[in-house]
Amino acid sequence: MALVSVVIPVYNIERHLRQCLDSLAAQTLEDLEIICVNDGSTDSSPQILEEYAARDSRFRVVTQANSGPGTARNTGLEQAEGTFLIFLDSDDWFEPDFLELMARKAEQTGADATICRAVEFDTDGDRELPSGWMLKVHQLPGEAFRPEDISEHIFQFTYGWPWDKLYRTSLIRQEQLRFPALRNSEDLAFVFPSLLAARRITVLDRTLIHHRVNRPASVSNSRSSDPDAPYEAFSIVKAFLAQHDLMEQYQRSFLNGAVEFLIWHVGTINDKTVRRQYWKILKEEWFPSLLGGLRPPGWREDKRTRCKYLLVKYAPRPVFCGVVDSYHSLKKLYRRKQMRRCAR
């Protein structure tokens, strides 16, 4: 029985896979099992996985027909035997002491979920990006806390991805948490219920993960092919809150998180025809369904969220698209300015 089980879904990632696996093989924590789930890859990824498994017994390869990242993670989860569990991406790489520090922090604090910092790596530009926004420690009461201690910010202080979160395996098994079979946004339907179910959460305020972005074939760049997935994911989270009688306590944070994410999703869909169609769906179907009967006074605590919500609700579609495009262009210019400043 390993201390940490690492689950990695792998699909046609031959270009970056060795860097990921090398950084795991070099971890200072040796008490690992690394479960690589080959999700029907058609490139040389399966051969690379077998090569690592042949020379390092901690690597184990499981092969399945292509089913998407959520199903692949569930396959690895079923085989995990470690005290702790983490789901990593196959195009990222990690600091050598990443898992040792995470496991030590979890043991010291008794946390069910341990979260660290990451830095984005721009694949196109071959450079790191300013990434302080990925973990909002200023919203936290301390390094260790209960979910109810941050009921106003639990959907804001971190993001709905699993690769920066080390879980106590018993929590995941006890709560029977699984990833839904969605082609994108499946991770947020797992991550937020897991944080809500945790007895204790802790934060390791160190950058330990290099997260690759702007890779054309990544799941996050294919949202046009399954534009309903984010709404379905938030519907799963809403059902979890209702099932566990948690909605009243967390509804303000949930509504802000859902509105912000769904507006971002629709506003950044690459296919303009799909974007036009889903602006109407966002306005006439998603918002009434998710927000209906929940809106407490002052729930839109973030001014940007308030403005975006009003924009969707009242502005004509061309105005919405124009404002959203301008907003994201300004964000890109701001990030470029930050990068130039960091380069100095």
> What is the per-residue pLDDT across 101-148, written as a single tens digit (0 to 9) for each?
999 999 999 999 999 999 999 988 888 888 999 999 999 999 999 999
Q: What is the mean pLDDT of residues 336-342?
A: 63
- With a CB cutoff of 8 Å and minimum separation 6, the contacts of 207 are 95, 116, 117, 118, 119, 131
pLDDT of 300 strictly over 70 = no
Amino acid, single-letter form, for residue 220? S
pLDDT-above-70 percentage for the chain: 91
- In which band, very low, low, confident or very high, does the pLDDT at 97 lie, cut at 50, 70 and 90? very high
Q: Stretch 329-337: mean pLDDT, rounded? A: 70
3 state DSSP class of 118: strand
pLDDT at 207: 97
Residue 43, both tokens: 């490139």
Residues 173 and 111: their CA atoms lie apart, in Å, by 15
Q: Where are the domains of the chain?
A: 4-221, 224-343
pLDDT of residue 322: 82
Cα(57)–Cα(32) distance, rounded to whole angstroms?
10
Q: Give residue 217's pLDDT.
A: 63
Contact predicate 179/73, CB 8 Å: yes
Place of tokens 């799941």: 219
pLDDT digits (tens, 9 = 90+) for 240-263: 999 999 999 999 899 989 999 999
**CATH H-level superfamily of 4-221:** Spore Coat Polysaccharide Biosynthesis Protein SpsA; Chain A (3.90.550.10)
How large a percentage of the chain has pLDDT more than 90? Answer: 72
Tokens of 18: 């060795």
Q: What is the mean pLDDT of residues 49-67?
A: 98
- Mean pLDDT (the chain, rounded): 91
Tell me, what amino acid is at 312?
V
Residue 188 has pLDDT above 60, yes or no: yes
Q: Is the pLDDT of residue 298 over 70?
A: no
Let me know if 81 is exposed, middle or buried by CB neighbors in 10 A (0-12, 13-18, 19+): exposed
Partnered with residue 127 across adjacent β-strands are: 122
Check if the beta carbon of residue 162 is closer than 8 Å to that of residue 187: yes
Please indicate whether residue 178 or residue 328 has the higher confidence score (pLDDT).
178
